[in-house]
DNA sequence: TTGAAAGCGCTAACAC
DNA sequence: GTGTTAGCGCTTTCAA
């Protein structure tokens, strides 16, 4: 049996489609009597508005897209979890996609709203894509980029102060008396813009303490995942002069590094202290627990959605609006991987 | 400036909308010359088809929804990661939502496609919702349910054999000489249908070995997460006669239990062996690594998408088609949390 | 307060 | 092969 349409309801209720539409959307004032009639007809026919038709008529899709490099990265799933309910509260459904960090996929997504992927706005966490590539993005697309801004543009940025946070994390290691500090996660320009900010903070902390950075201890990794963290750590431990502390550019990297250390019988933090970045739940349950930089994810999710909906609300007028950079709060969370069991 | 429409392209190319549509969709044979003209016009106007309009005309949304209880549960994010590319390959975009295990939210979603949430089919992982509630689901909705089937219906199920898998996991602990085996994760009917299957397998393994189940060691938890796992483990360790092994109904539960054990100085697996369920990546990097039941997630994702698209293809005819139960493969993966470091 | 009617942009049956 | 045209189901301007 065919789905009931608004027309069917109108016919049954003996009113015009216009009136039904008014009732359904709570628009113009409708007589109580009329409303009752219409609602009765709606119930009788089990009528549900066709969203696709509505969107076509309204000239919007009622959806936003959230695109991240990897969905199985806890940081992103935690963020997504914060974004979805807020978007729904704002009347939007959420399309999700991952790019695997593929620059082509990312570019395609931005340059021209990807084929067949209909959305009114986009929350985007670029990875393989240099931020300046966003510059020639479709300027009519409401866009919020996650991560610190590295280039101006007509879109918004939401992120924490990576340089400051990294500096604090490194300073924490230094304050514990560590002197040979490694960094795992550096990435070359232009892909690794976020990574480079962290490296900058790492260097600043050394400067602050009048310490030299041993360049051999700055290890690049293609991804911020457990496997790469473990691999980098193994290389560090193979050295004749291994580090006594490591600043990892993500908790996943730190967890991988931890695994590699314990596997070799290297004690954490006695032999080597470890600090991560992101404050994912996993780091609160690992053994030892992982010290980390904790970004205010709730604020990031909330701000990203808020800014995006605002831009969507502006309509095509978005084009003129300059990009805003929003800095969410962060804090250092010291746990066992730097303080030791004594922390308990 | 207004977006170019198909009509604009037709006008510029000097052909009819019909022809442009043909070119865009690669339908009917089109002369090379015409095609070239049309493509030139498309490029010139930077034309992109309006997906919403297309969907309305085609009477579909081109989207499927994936609904899980919690997005930040690694098992679900890993699954989602397998589902999304496959759905896109099949021409569908993926809407994602989480229910927080709220039965009302789940029911609403099924009973009548949720307001404003447009999708042609649904992959659904119920939690708070008893499977028999799915019975009075909209029978015209193409639906694939994740998890083992506990009731018949007109929709498909994709999952592993939970009873058998749980039996194997428990048998593994028994084969290691453990005799006081606890289970963490049981849940009351009707919410915890999946949990109860695992409890059944747990009991069967005891029967097989002519062992008694100590009912005091079967611990219920509201959720399958780290915190609940840790809490349950603490209670077990508080007993005068703690278990020498624990079958945890998810890896997250096992990771929480592990944390609680180590926190007390209880050795794993020497004092208590631990086995989980799901084989999430985290369990391969924890210290010790977690033994687990590994479901073939790729197969689950692939089958779920495949069955769903098949049902969507059937159109309204879906109604008659009986539900199919697909059993994906699983295997036991023994790691350090049962075998000890020697496993390396 | 409600009705009539013109689209929203695309598809596809039907003709030529 | 290509054009004509009538919808898809809803919104919304303009009248009444």
Domain layout of chain B by residue ranges: 6-49, 63-160+297-329, 162-295
Check residue B17 and give its pLDDT. Answer: 87
Compute the distance between CA of residue B213 and CA of residue B202 in angstroms, rounded to an integer.
9
Q: Left (φ > 0), alpha (ψ -120 to 50) or beta: where does B301 sit? A: alpha
Spatial CA neighbour of A182 closest among A244, A224, A267, A258? A244
The total number of residues written for chain A in this structure: 344
Nucleic strand D contacts from chain A, 53-92, CB < 7 Å: 53-54, 56-58
Q: B156, B145 in Cβ contact below 8 A?
A: yes
Mapped onto helix, strand or coil, the DSSP state of residue A316 is: helix
Q: Which two tokens stand for residue A106?
A: 């990312």
Compute the distance between CA of residue A24 and CA of residue A228 in angstroms, rounded to an integer.
54
CB contact under 8 A, B93 and A61: no
For the cut 70, the answer to whether the pLDDT of residue B115 exceeds it is no
Query: Quick one: average pLDDT of B276-282?
Result: 98
Q: A189, A132 in Cβ contact below 8 A?
A: no
CATH assignment, B6-49 = 1.10.260.40
- What residues 277-316 of chain A have any CB closer than 8 A to a CB of chain B? 281-282, 284-287
> Mean pLDDT, chain B, as a whole number?
90
Nucleic strand D contacts from chain B, 50-89, CB < 7 Å: 53, 56-57, 59
DSSP A145: E
Q: Of A132-146, A168-182, A185-199, B257-271, which range is least confident?
A: A132-146
Question: Residue B317 — pLDDT band, cuts 50, 70, 90?
Answer: low
Alpha-carbon distances, residue B51 vs A59, B19, B62, B93 (angstroms): 11, 18, 9, 11
CB contact under 8 A, A112 and B263: no
Residue A103 C-alpha from the chain's centroid: 17
Check residue A1 and give its pLDDT. Answer: 57
Instruction: Choose among B81, B94, B113: nearest Cβ to A95.
Output: B94
> Which residue carries 């084969």 as its tokens?
B175
Q: Which helix (H) or strand (E) holds A2?
A: none
Alpha-carbon distances, residue A243 vs A212, A260, A291 (angstroms): 13, 14, 17
- Tell whether B262 is within 8 A of chain A (Cβ): yes
Q: Left (φ > 0), alpha (ψ -120 to 50) or beta: where does A117 sit? A: beta
If one compares A83 and A141, the residue with the highest pLDDT of the two is A83
Instruction: Choose among A46, A80, A259: nearest Cβ to B71.
Output: A80
Which CATH superfamily groups domain A162-295? Response regulator (3.40.50.2300)
For B63-160+297-329, give the CATH class: alpha beta
Check residue B60 and give its pLDDT. Answer: 86
Ranked by mean pLDDT, which of A220-229, A313-322, B148-157, B314-323 comes out on top? A220-229
For the cut 80, the answer to whether the pLDDT of residue B298 exceeds it is yes
Angle between helices B17-25 and B6-13 (to 10 degrees): 110
Check residue B95 and give its pLDDT. Answer: 93
Q: Of A301-310, B286-295, B334-343, which range is least confident?
A: B334-343
Check residue B185 and give its pLDDT. Answer: 96
Check residue A171 and give its pLDDT. Answer: 98
Query: Quick one: average pLDDT of A84-93?
Result: 91
> Which of A76, A77, A99 to probe by mutation at the B interface, max B CB count within 10 Å?
A77
Spatial CA neighbour of B199 closest among B218, B223, B217, B212? B218
Instruction: Choose among A72, A259, A287: nearest Cβ to B81.
Output: A72
Check residue B141 and give its pLDDT. Answer: 84
Check residue A46 and give its pLDDT. Answer: 87
Per DSSP bridges, beta strands B245-248 and B273-275 are parallel
CA angle A49, A50, A55 (to 5 degrees): 110
- What residues 212-241 of chain B have any CB closer than 8 A to a CB of chain A? 226, 230
CB contact under 8 A, A51 and B117: yes
- The strand ranges marked E within B77-221 are 93-98, 121-124, 143-146, 156-160, 181-186, 218-220
Mapped onto helix, strand or coil, the DSSP state of residue B190 is: coil
The CA-based diameter of chain A, rounded to the nearest angstrom, is 88
For the cut 90, the answer to whether the pLDDT of residue B280 exceeds it is yes
User: What residue of B is the nearest CA neighbor of A115?
Assistant: B48
User: Would you say the C-beta of A101 is within 7 Å of strand D?
Assistant: no
The CA-based diameter of chain B, rounded to the nearest angstrom, is 87
For the cut 80, the answer to whether the pLDDT of residue A342 exceeds it is no
Question: Residue A137 — pLDDT band, cuts 50, 70, 90?
Answer: confident
Spatial CA neighbour of B182 closest among B255, B78, B254, B111? B254
Q: Is B344 exposed, middle or buried (0-12, 13-18, 19+ CB in 10 A)?
A: exposed
> Mean pLDDT, chain A, as a whole number?
90
Q: Return the closest nucleotide (C1') to the Cα of B47.
A: C9
Contacts of A70 (CB under 8 A, 6+ apart): A76, A98, A100, A101, B81
Question: Residue A2 — pLDDT band, cuts 50, 70, 90?
Answer: confident
Check residue A160 and give its pLDDT. Answer: 96
Compute the distance between CA of residue A10 and CA of residue B79 in angstroms, rounded to an integer.
44
Check residue A320 and give its pLDDT. Answer: 63
Check residue A297 and give its pLDDT. Answer: 97
Compute the distance between CA of residue A46 and CA of residue A4 in angstroms, rounded to an integer.
7
Question: Residue A219 — pLDDT band, cuts 50, 70, 90?
Answer: very high
For the cut 60, the answer to whether the pLDDT of residue B263 exceeds it is yes
* One fold for B6-49 and B162-295: no
- Tell whether A344 is within 8 A of chain B (Cβ): yes
Compute the distance between CA of residue A135 and CA of residue A152 in angstroms, rounded to an integer.
8
Spatial CA neighbour of A226 closest among A168, A283, A182? A283
Nearest protein residue to the C1' atom of D9, measured from CA: A53
Q: Which helix (H) or strand (E) holds A235?
A: helix A226-238
Mapped onto helix, strand or coil, the DSSP state of residue B330 is: strand
Question: Residue A317 — pLDDT band, cuts 50, 70, 90?
Answer: low
Contacts of A198 (CB under 8 A, 6+ apart): A162, A163, A165, A166, A183, A185, A186, A247, A249, A277
Residues B214-230 as b/e (b if ≥16 CB within 10 A, e otherwise) read eeebbbebebbbbbbbb
Compute the distance between CA of residue B279 and CA of residue B284 in angstroms, rounded to an integer.
8
Q: B164, B333 in Cβ contact below 8 A?
A: no
**Percent of chain B beyond pLDDT 90?**
60
Which pTM value belongs to this model?
0.92
Compute the distance between CA of residue B254 and CA of residue B187 in angstroms, rounded to an integer.
16
Q: Return the closest nucleotide (C1') to the Cα of B59.
A: D8
Residues of B in contact with A49 (CB under 8 A): 115
DSSP state letters, B206-266: HHHTT----GGGEEE-SSSSHHHHHHHHHHHHHSSS--SEEEESSHHHHHHHHHHHHHTT-
Mapped onto helix, strand or coil, the DSSP state of residue A230 is: helix
Q: In this predicted model, what pLDDT tens digit does every residue of B30-45 receive, in sequence order?
A: 888 888 888 899 999 8
- Nearest CA distance, A210 vs chain B (angstrom): 36
CB contact under 8 A, B72 and A74: yes
- The strand ranges marked E within chain A are 63-68, 93-98, 121-124, 143-146, 156-160, 181-186, 218-220, 245-248, 273-277, 291-295, 325-328, 330-333
Alpha helices in B209-248 (DSSP H): 226-238
Check residue A138 and give its pLDDT. Answer: 75
Q: Which two tokens stand for residue B168?
A: 């194997």
Radius of gyration of chain A, Cα coordinates, nearest whole angstrom: 25
Q: B101, B323 in Cβ contact below 8 A?
A: no
Q: How far apart are the first and last CA of chain A?
A: 64
Compute the distance between CA of residue A175 and CA of residue A247 in angstroms, rounded to an integer.
13
B110 phi, psi to nearest 5 deg = -85, -50
For the cut 80, the answer to whether the pLDDT of residue A27 exceeds it is no
Residue A317 C-alpha from the chain's centroid: 26
């Amino acid at each position: 049996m065919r789905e009931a349409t608004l027309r069917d309801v109108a016919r049954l209720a003996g009113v015009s489609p216009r009136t039904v539409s008014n009732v359904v959307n709570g628009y113009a004032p409708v007589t109580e009597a009329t409303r009752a009639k219409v609602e009765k007809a709606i119930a009788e026919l089990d009528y549900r508005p066709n969203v696709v038709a509505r969107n076509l008529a309204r000239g919007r899709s009622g959806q936003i897209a959230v695109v991240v490099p990897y969905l199985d990265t806890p940081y992103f799933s935690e963020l997504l979890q914060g974004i979805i309910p807020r978007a729904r509260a704002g009347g939007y459904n959420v399309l999700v996609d991952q790019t695997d960090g593929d620059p082509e996929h990312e570019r395609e997504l931005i340059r021209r709203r990807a084929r067949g992927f209909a959305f009114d706005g986009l929350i985007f966490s670029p990875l393989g894509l240099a931020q300046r590539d966003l510059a020639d993005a479709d300027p009519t697309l409401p866009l919020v980029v996650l991560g610190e801004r590295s280039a101006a543009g007509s879109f918004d940025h939401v992120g924490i102060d990576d340089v400051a946070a990294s500096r604090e994390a490194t300073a924490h290691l230094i304050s514990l008396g560590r002197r040979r500090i490694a960094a795992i996660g550096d990435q070359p320009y232009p892909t690794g813009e976020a990574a480079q900010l962290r490296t900058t903070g790492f260097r600043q902390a050394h400067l602050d303490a009048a310490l030299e950075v041993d360049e051999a201890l700055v290890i690049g990794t293609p991804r911020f995942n457990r496997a790469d963290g473990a691999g980098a750590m193994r290389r560090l431990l193979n050295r004749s002069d291994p580090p006594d502390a490591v600043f990892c550019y993500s908790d996943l990297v730190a967890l991988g590094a931890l695994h590699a250390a314990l596997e070799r019988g290297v004690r954490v933090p006695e032999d080597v202290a470890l600090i991560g970045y992101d404050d994912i739940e996993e780091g609160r349950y690992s053994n030892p627990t992982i010290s980390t930089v904790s970004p205010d994810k709730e604020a990031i999710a909330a701000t990203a959605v808020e800014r995006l909906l605002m831009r969507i609300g502006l309509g095509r007028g978005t084009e003129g609006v300059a990009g805003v950079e929003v800095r969410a709060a962060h804090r250092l969370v010291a746990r066992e991987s730097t303080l030791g069991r004594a922390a308990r």
